């Protein structure tokens, strides 16, 4: 990118635009005068007896050439394109360390051996009600990485086999 540029972000330039000294202006160049409004340079001539200034005639100007200090920095879309040193820096890959949050819902079915009060084994509904109310008590029974799912919701329970814990 041009060393001249005082714009803080690359996207402060429209495509094909760069910052140049007024002394570099040539006929056909377009100056970005206001928020992307481009005005074409018709003539750019030295001013006699004022070597730090040039006279720039802009397309549409009704009162003749405008004097500009030669070292004024202007956003310009050059008629003959950008020089290699004015090309925007290519976007490159960088490494970034970021914290991401992933939300997932996992539904799985498992057959577990649980120790429960005998009274809740009268039917599936009673077992479900009991497990739902005490699910955190059974965390260590669940194996295989299910612990990484933080938002567990018990939706079903079925009795496969009943066996007294004491027997
Ligand atoms: Zn700039």
- Stated as kind and residue range, the H or E segment containing 133 is helix 124-134
- HSE-up of residue 94 (Cα within 13 Å, Cβ side): 5
Å from CA of 38 to ligand 1 middle: 14
Confidence class for position 167, pLDDT limits 50, 70, 90: very low
Confidence class for position 67, pLDDT limits 50, 70, 90: very high
Instruction: State the architecture of 10-85 in CATH terms.
Output: Roll (2.30)
Percentage of residues of the chain with pLDDT beyond 90: 31
Å from CA of 93 to ligand 1 middle: 24
Confidence class for position 149, pLDDT limits 50, 70, 90: low
76, 30 Cβ separation under 8 angstroms: yes
Q: What is the pLDDT of residue 152?
A: 64
**Domain layout of the chain by residue ranges:** 10-85, 105-167
Task: In whole angstroms, give the CA distance from residue 82 to residue 76.
Answer: 10
How far, in Å, are 30, 35, 36, 147 from residue 79 at the CA level? Answer: 7, 19, 16, 64
Q: Give the predicted TM-score (pTM) of the model.
A: 0.52
Å from CA of 1 to ligand 1 middle: 9
Å from CA of 19 to ligand 1 middle: 4
**Mean pLDDT value across the chain:** 82
Q: What is the pLDDT of residue 33?
A: 86
Task: In whole angstroms, give the CA distance from residue 65 to residue 45.
Answer: 9
DSSP state of 46: E
Q: What is the pLDDT of residue 109?
A: 75
Selection from 1-5, 75-79, 87-91, 154-158 with the highest mean pLDDT? 75-79
Q: Give me Rg for the CA atoms of the chain.
A: 38
Q: What is the pLDDT of residues 44-57, one digit of tens each?
A: 999 989 999 999 99
Å from CA of 41 to ligand 1 middle: 18
Å from CA of 7 to ligand 1 middle: 4
Q: What is the pLDDT of residues 19-49, one digit of tens each?
A: 999 999 999 999 998 877 899 999 999 998 9
Task: In whole angstroms, give the CA distance from residue 6 to residue 2.
Answer: 9
Q: What is the pLDDT of residue 100?
A: 74
């Amino acid at each position: 990118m041009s060393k001249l540029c005082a714009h803080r972000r690359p996207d402060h330039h429209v495509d094909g635009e760069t910052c140049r000294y007024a002394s570099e202006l040539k006929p056909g160049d377009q100056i970005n005068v206001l928020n992307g409004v481009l005005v074409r340079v018709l003539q750019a001539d030295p001013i006699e007896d004022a070597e730090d200034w040039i006279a720039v005639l802009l397309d549409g100007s009704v009162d003749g050439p405008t004097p500009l200090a030669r070292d004024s920095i202007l956003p310009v879309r050059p008629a003959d394109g950008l020089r290699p040193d004015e090309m925007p820096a290519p976007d490159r890959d960088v490494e970034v360390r970021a914290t991401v949050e992933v939300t997932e819902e996992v539904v799985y079915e498992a057959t577990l051996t649980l120790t429960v009060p005998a009274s809740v084994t009268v039917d599936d509904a009673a077992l479900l009600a009991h497990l739902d109310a005490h699910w955190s008590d059974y965390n260590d029974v669940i194996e295989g990485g299910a612990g990484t799912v933080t938002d567990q919701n018990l939706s079903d329970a079925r009795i496969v086999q009943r066996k007294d814990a004491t027997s």
